[in-house]
Chains A and B, each alone.
Chain A
Amino acid sequence: KQEVTQIPAALSVPEGENLVLNCSFTDSAIYNLQWFRQDPGKGLTSLLLIQSSQREQTSGRLNASLDKSSGRSTLYIAASQPGDSATYLCAVINAGGTSYGKLTFGQGTILTVHP
């Protein structure tokens, strides 16, 4: 059964700092990995989607990498801002077994960027 772990569970940084959020998964049979942002009381907003054949994706100040063989992904946020404060979730779409085509989510990292 696929398991997704995110470290750290919470992170507090001053504005302007570069930071890295980590995601690991136990089964490398995945189609893709997706990073989401969730604001309090809101739904999930897709940030980046990395296909299993890709190594990284970039969008503005965000860069996500994927090392499928080691079961790891990182989300790099450059020059963090208070508006980046949210919960960040990673999820993998499984390619094998009974979990085929379904997402498995991590527990999320709660990010606080203070002025």
Chain B
Amino acid sequence: DAEITQSPRHKITETGRQVTLACHQTWNHNNMFWYRQDLGHGLRLIHYSYGVQDTNKGEVSDGYSVSRSNTEDLPLTLESAASSQTSVYFCASSAQLGTGELFFGEGSRLTVL
């Protein structure tokens, strides 16, 4: 079955370190998204991509970057991790922009000490 996988599922890092969270989907979806989920804030969009070589900033993009070199992967990089970036991160994908159903990965829990 097609799926969307995230790794690592749990990570602890120190302030200032670079961290990359991986997202891989096997649906061949063009559209991929990264969200963070925090108590009191719900799910907020970090970055998104509508296809290879396309990346866009979401509402909370500061301190994060993404790259899209192929259809399957959208890695999220924290250039210099901060304690405020402790969160649960979710990757999602959809086939059709706007009308397509969104599918989520299981999440990556990141703790920045």
Measuring CB to CB, which residues of chain A are less than 8 angstroms from any residue of chain B?
Answer: 31-32, 34, 36, 41-46, 49, 51, 89, 91, 93, 95, 100-103, 105-108
Contacts of A41 in B (CB 8 A): 107
Min CB distance, B4 to chain A, in Å?
Answer: 9
Min CB distance, B76 to chain A, in Å?
Answer: 15
Given A31-B99, A32-B98, A101-B97, CB of A43 within 8 Å of CB of B42? no
In the complex, the answer to whether A43 meets B48 with C-beta atoms within 8 Å is no
Contacts of B97 in A (CB 8 A): 101
In the complex, the answer to whether B103 meets A46 with C-beta atoms within 8 Å is yes
Q: What's the dominant secondary structure at chain A's contact region?
A: strand
Contacts of B43 in A (CB 8 A): 89, 91, 103, 105
The number of chain B residues with a CB under 8 A from chain A is 20
In the complex, the answer to whether B42 meets A95 with C-beta atoms within 8 Å is no
Pick from B45, B50, B101, B106: contact of A34, CB below 8 A.
Answer: B101
In the complex, the answer to whether B58 meets A43 with C-beta atoms within 8 Å is no
In the complex, the answer to whether B45 meets A43 with C-beta atoms within 8 Å is no
Contacts of A49 in B (CB 8 A): 101
Determine the distance from Cα of A91 to Cα of B44 in the docked complex, in whole angstroms: 11
Taking the complex as formed, is B27 at the interface, i.e. its CB lies under 8 A from any CB of chain A?
Answer: no
Contacts of A34 in B (CB 8 A): 101-102
Pick from B42, B45, B58: contact of A108, CB below 8 A.
Answer: B42
Q: B56-113: which residues lie under 8 A (CB-CB) from chain A?
A: 58, 90, 92, 97-99, 101-107
Determine the distance from Cα of A46 to Cα of B92 in the docked complex, in whole angstroms: 11
In the complex, the answer to whether A102 meets B101 with C-beta atoms within 8 Å is no
In the complex, the answer to whether A102 meets B42 with C-beta atoms within 8 Å is no
In the complex, the answer to whether A44 meets B104 with C-beta atoms within 8 Å is yes
